[in-house]
Structure formats: C-alpha cells, structure tokens
Amino acid sequence: MKKNIFPESLKKGDKIAVISPAGAVETSQLEKGIEMIKSKGFEPVLGEHLYTKFSNGYNYAGTEEQRIKDINWALNDQDISAIWASRGGYGCQHLVQHLKLKNFTQKPKWYIGYSDNTVIQSYLLKKGFASIHGQTVKTSSFGVTKESYELIFDILKGKRPEYSLKSHQLNKKGNTEGELIGGNLALIYALLGTKYSFDFKDKILFIEDIGENFYALDRMMMSLELAGIFTRIKGLIVGGMTNMGDEKDNKQYEESFDEFAYRLIYEKVSKYKFPVVFGFPNGHIKDNRPLIIGGNVKMNVKEKVEIRF
C-alpha cells in the first residue's frame, strides 16, 4: 500500500499562510489565533483576501477568483511551510476544480482546518498528501481549549497524536488499522459521486457535524449506506454532533455529542462488522483535538478506547 506524504516538520521562524477559503471573517475573530502562531515562533503570512467579504447568498471571503488566488498562492509559494484556514463555513467546493499543486508537490506543506475544509483535505489526499483535521485560526463561539491548539503545533513539529478515551455505550468493540479519511459529514455526503470524493476502501472513516436536522443526518447516513460505504470501510469514528435537531427548539440539543444523533448513526452502522467509536473529541466543539487525514491509525475499542497514529 502506498504511503501518503507527510510534510516536513516545521522549525522556528517558518512561515504559516493564513487564508480564508470559505466564509468571511472579521479581523477581531483572528487576532488571538494569529498572535498564538507568533508566540510559537512562527511567522503568520496573511492571504491577500483574508478579510475580504463578498455577499452572494452567503458572506464569502471574497469572490471565487479571489479565494482561488489565495489558496493557490499558499499551496505553491516555496517560502510557506504550512497553511492554516481561518474558518470553514461554505465555499471550498468552488475552489476544488481550480487547485494547482505544481510547486506543492516539490515542497508539501500541512493544511490545517476542518468543517468545510474537508473538501480541500479530500482533494489533497487524492493526490497522496496528508493534512490536519483540527481547529481553525478563528476561535469559535463555543470556545477552544488550549490543548486543541497545542496538539496541532505538536503535529507541525513532527509528533504523532495518541488518544485514550472512555468507552461510550454505543461503541462496537474490536481492533482495526487503516488510513484515516473523512471530516465533516455534510461535505463527505456532498462529494459522493464526484471525482473529489474520498476512496473508502479499507479505510477508517471519521465523521462530525453541526446544526443539521435529524432527518438531514439520517438522509446523509442513508446515502452513505446506499453508496456501499459501510461495506467498504474498516472502522468508524464519530466526533461532535453539535446543535442537531429542530433549530426552533435546539436548547434540547446543545450537547456536543448529541445522543439522539448518535442513535440515528448507530441504527445505520450497527449491523456491520467494523468497530465503532462514539464521542471522539473532534468537530464543532470546544475540545477539538486534531486528527491526521491520510495518516495510518490503529483503533483498539474495548472498555477503554485507544486511537494512535
């Protein structure tokens, strides 16, 4: 099996591009994150359209052309050592047909983000490059733990994450090993049937989401089942399912690991043989611990859960 390429570890003074490939952001929303990058000894380099705003039914961080320009600059500029998305939202699907990797292949770099950035990470993995599914530069409205960021910097410095979790009542026990794919469920679903979709065969799938009605969650899981995804993967990791259900009454569903959402997922996957982990701390949640998309992961699901890269 061909191994995916991990970018070189960063050293003090290296430059990290901060770009907005999807939704618009305000300067105040990135101040803490940018200062944190500096405090770690790296130099943040801001994309030309980082704070641009373009409204077209949604507040994008610039037109498609502006966002394409910024991401291709970040991917291919030889002085840049990593790329950190400012936020998710929506808009990365506009870019994926226009990504250029000519210089990137000569000097691969970590791409860091989650949510809508799942599209970019799927694209990079199709080309054989690993990326970091972790907190964006924008500190979320529900907050971000210090450790969520520290663990990203650990990966940038060459360390591989290891996690030990308490068992969840819906977990399916077992051991498995394979390449980790996935991210935001809505984007995994949106890419199905396209050439940018993940390759699911013998992979371990990670999913998380936010703000979906329960019927929409069921629809997405049903689509994965109809596409034969659950007969092809070797394991499933379920992260945050936040603010799910009826938005008119979402006080009932403010938990990061919504139990009813978990039940819906369990109903779809319980008949399959692969091990399943519920409650992994990654997603639209405060404790958003990074995963490596394209990394080889070992899952040991017993009374305790061990996940190691």
Asked if 147 is an active-site residue, the reply is no
Q: Is the pLDDT of residue 64 over 70?
A: yes
Asked if 64 is an active-site residue, the reply is no
Give the active site residue among 122, 148, 208, 256: 208
Tell me what pLDDT residue 247 has.
Answer: 57
Query: What is the pTM for the complete model shown?
Result: 0.96
**Residue 286 corresponds to which amino acid?**
K
Q: Is the pLDDT of residue 167 over 90?
A: yes
Q: Is the pLDDT of residue 141 over 80?
A: no
**Looking at the structure, do residues 125 and 210 belong to the same domain, yes or no?**
no
**What CATH number does residue 37 fall under?**
3.40.50.10740
Which domain-ending residue is among 128, 157, 186? 157
**Looking at the structure, do residues 189 and 127 belong to the same domain, yes or no?**
no
What's the number of domains the chain is made of? Answer: 2
pLDDT above 90 covers a percentage of the chain that reads: 93
Q: Is the pLDDT of residue 253 over 50?
A: no
Residue 1 lies in a domain: no
Q: What is the mean pLDDT of the chain?
A: 95
Which domain-ending residue is among 157, 173, 207? 157
Give the active site residue among 115, 122, 131, 148: 115
Task: Over range 260-289, report the average pLDDT.
Answer: 97
Domain that holds residue 31: 15-157
What's the pLDDT band for 256 if we cut at 50, 70, 90?
confident
Asked if 81 is an active-site residue, the reply is no
